[in-house]
Structure 1
Amino acid sequence: MKIKNSEMKKIGFLINPVAGMGGKVALKGTDGQYERALELGAEPVAEKKAAEFVRALDLSEIMFFTAGGLMGEGLLKSTGTARYKVVFNPNNPTSAEDTKKACLMMLKAGVEMIVFCGGDGTARDVVSATGDKVPLLGIPSGVKMFSGIFALTPKTGADIVNRFPDLSIVKTEVMDIDEEEYRKGRLKTVIFAEAKVPLIPQKSQGGKWVSSGSDERNRKEIGRFLAEILSDDTLYLIGAGTTAKSILDELGLSGYTLLGIDALFSGRLIGRDLSERDILKLLEGHKKAKIIISPIGAQGFILGRGNQQFSPEVLRKTGTENIIIAATNAKLMMTKELFIDTGDMDLNRSFPDSVQVICGDCMAQRVKIQKPGQ
């Protein structure tokens, strides 16, 4: 039966075209860094994530209200079947103000929900314009995604929209992160606002869990154990966070980047705050390489959030079997499953269904891995 426009879901749809471009080039965000990201060879990623989301939607039930050009119109037009109306025409290049103005026009058009494709910066701009007037849903494509407003993957975001409005609506936090401090290796987060989100269990991510310091001793145990298993002939690529970096503390090394990717070889730091290109160059000169990473708080993401420098090309060169995962017991209590979203479905499928996570001195727990499409 053909659905009348009046019976269709009225969904606001917005893409931040520059979101996520700073990831592979180690900018830790693209706010105010668009030109710099282009100079470093960054490529757009948001529209690809948005396309994954749209492909998984039941388009026959949706009337979109969107912004012009790269902010939504172009992708919806390319489907050939999506019904949409352009309610705002942005500048080129787009800005935070364009995001806010587009959202205000979507509200004026009477949308029931706004779906945006971006990261924490985009989430902050969206909620600053909409408040809690309608439910919001983020399709993850940024560098930083600590807020609880995001679906786990584009496909799970589509699952949520396909079931809307027959869902519970809950409130979650939108985090405000200072990108300038973040680039200096200092994570300063505050709850910027609360937003309403449609909820399906396991389909939207929790906010970042922040350590209270009670697991500091556990983290030192992990650092000692990792230091003991080092090989002098292996390049170690150390991911972000205090747990992954505990190995460097144990070795007495300083000057590392807490929120970046650093390289360790034969007991020395040979690279700091590496981009994807930097990592690939290092891999050319080392026959053996391993990656050491830790999950992001209660979200459980080990790849695809805040460490896009570990791109599919990097992961194929190192081998997925050469990834070491470490987490404190306190973090594992909050993280029942691990998640990956490398952006490459074949690569995602190559990961095992569960992995050992180092959680102490000669201690490990086996934790299940969730992959996009599961």
Structure 2
Amino acid sequence: MKTKTSFRLGVVVNPYAGIGGAVALKGSDGAAIREKALAQGAEQQAADKMSRALAQLQGADNLIIYTASGAMGMDSCEQAGLSADVVYTPQTAQTEAEHTQQAVRAIVEKGIDLLLFAGGDGTARNVFDELGATQVVLGVPAGVKIHSGVYAVTPSAAGKVALKMAQGQLVSEFDAEVRDIDEDAFRQGNVTAKYYGEMRVPRELEYIQAVKMGGKEHEELVLDDIADYVSEMIEQDDETLYVMGSGSTVAAIMDALNLDNTLLGVDVIRDRRIIASDVSAKTLLEITDGQPVKLVITLIGGQGHILGRGNQQLSPAFIKRLGKQNMLIVATKQKLQALEGRPLRLDSGDDALDETLSGSVQIITGYQDKVLYPAV
């Protein structure tokens, strides 16, 4: 029987979450996509992200952890230096949605206080299909596409919320949306996030991600001003490679340059010409090696993420080589105001790098118009 001081934590990882991001496949759903990603040299990172979350719990002495074997959870626990009981072992090496659900079922049967799961929107749907709103859960962001509100803003943030709960601090809960998009449509540049239901999530708004804003920006004149200003900068600098991130604000700049754009991918241009389109993380490192480089990115509306959401092609290795001074962040003031004072979020996959990039960052908000805004 559970004692009053114990905190029972469930841990489950979708080992293949996010595997398609760095190789520009824009998703990880389906065996065929995972096989293609692995063949292109993609690395499984979900277990490492869960270990970053669990590392925040090393000071808790009242933990009882239940998890699945290997990459589905136990590897992360061991990497974080935490002991755990394995209550589920998949029968196949390559896990599918049903294995996530079976693991969740076995873990929840132990009477846990919180389920931590690592994945993306597809994983959130798997957990929702199994649990609905019967269990307090919290997602560790590890997927390519994360539109759901059940995820923490970073892996470390998820661990901090779990630690608060384990320490008995007052943490209320709320119902957060589970959303997912059609990956095939996503690869064609169409984003429509469908609502699937709600799950119970700890209410620590500093650490929990907001649901992504839908629709396109309607501030056409402001976007034109941003596009004109940045496109002029690019046109006057024909020696530098410009890496153009995803999103409609960056797309407006590409339109101003009369260049085709990968709306939900990463392109590279120089001297007003496209050098490479929809690049992977590996290709981006190869193309930019030894070259002068600047990065043009925007933030996700409603969430504030500038790294780690839909742009995993921008690897920690690339960002380190680039340097904070060569990041051009573009956004309308309306997009910033919609954050209601919340900082921009950095989730590059490297905590030390995120710390280096944190602080006040300059954001281009119009023609020769810039503001300073905090990033963490």
Residue among 249, 254, 257 paired with 2:255: 249
Q: Does 1:50 align with 2:50?
A: yes
Q: CA deviation at 1:54?
A: 1.5
Partner of 2:24: 26
Further displaced range: 202-211 or 74-83: 74-83
CA RMSD of aligned residues (A): 2.0
How far apart, in 1, do the equivalents of 2:60 and 2:92 lie? 28
Give the gaps of 5 or more residues in structure 2.
Answer: none
**Conserved? CA contact 1:160–1:203, under 8 Å:** yes
Identical-pair percentage: 35
**Number of residue pairs the alignment of both structures matches:** 366
Distance change in 2, residues 1:326/1:287 (3 Å): same
**Conserved? CA contact 1:5–1:63, under 8 Å:** no
Partner of 1:15: 13
**Partner AA of 1:268 in structure 2:** R
Q: CA deviation at 1:109?
A: 2.8
How far apart, in 2, do the equivalents of 1:190 and 1:357 lie? 31
Partner of 1:124: 125
Q: Does 1:276 align with 2:281?
A: yes
Distance change in 2, residues 1:34/1:346 (3 Å): same
**Conserved? CA contact 2:52–2:80, under 8 Å:** no
**Partner AA of 2:286 in structure 1:** K
TM-score by length of 2: 0.91
Further displaced range: 80-89 or 46-55: 80-89
**Conserved? CA contact 1:28–1:144, under 8 Å:** yes
Distance change in 2, residues 1:341/1:78 (3 Å): closer
How far apart, in 2, do the equivalents of 1:79 and 1:312 lie? 21
How far apart, in 2, do the equivalents of 1:223 and 1:242 lie? 11
How far apart, in 1, do the equivalents of 2:322 and 2:243 lie? 10
**Conserved? CA contact 1:66–1:72, under 8 Å:** yes
Q: Does 1:102 align with 2:108?
A: no
Q: CA deviation at 1:252?
A: 2.0
Partner of 2:92: 91
Q: Matched residue of 1:133: which SS?
A: coil
Q: Does 1:232 align with 2:238?
A: yes
Q: CA deviation at 1:45?
A: 0.5
Q: CA deviation at 1:341?
A: 1.8
How far apart, in 2, do the equivalents of 1:298 and 1:308 lie? 19
Partner of 1:69: 70
Partner of 1:150: 151
Partner of 2:375: 369
1:310-330 CA distance string (max 9 Å, x none): 112111222221010001122
How far apart, in 2, do the equivalents of 1:212 and 1:276 lie? 27
Residue among 175, 182, 186 paired with 2:179: 175
How far apart, in 1, do the equivalents of 2:13 and 2:332 lie? 36
Q: Does 1:207 align with 2:208?
A: no
**Conserved? CA contact 1:67–1:90, under 8 Å:** no
Residue among 315, 318, 329 paired with 1:314: 318
Q: Matched residue of 2:334: which SS?
A: helix
Partner of 2:350: 344
Distance change in 2, residues 1:100/1:263 (3 Å): same
How far apart, in 1, do the equivalents of 2:284 and 2:35 lie? 22
Q: CA deviation at 1:79?
A: 5.7
Partner of 1:114: 115
Partner of 1:264: 269
Residue among 327, 336, 340 paired with 1:332: 336
**Partner AA of 2:112 in structure 1:** V
Q: CA deviation at 1:237?
A: 0.5
Distance change in 2, residues 1:249/1:45 (3 Å): same
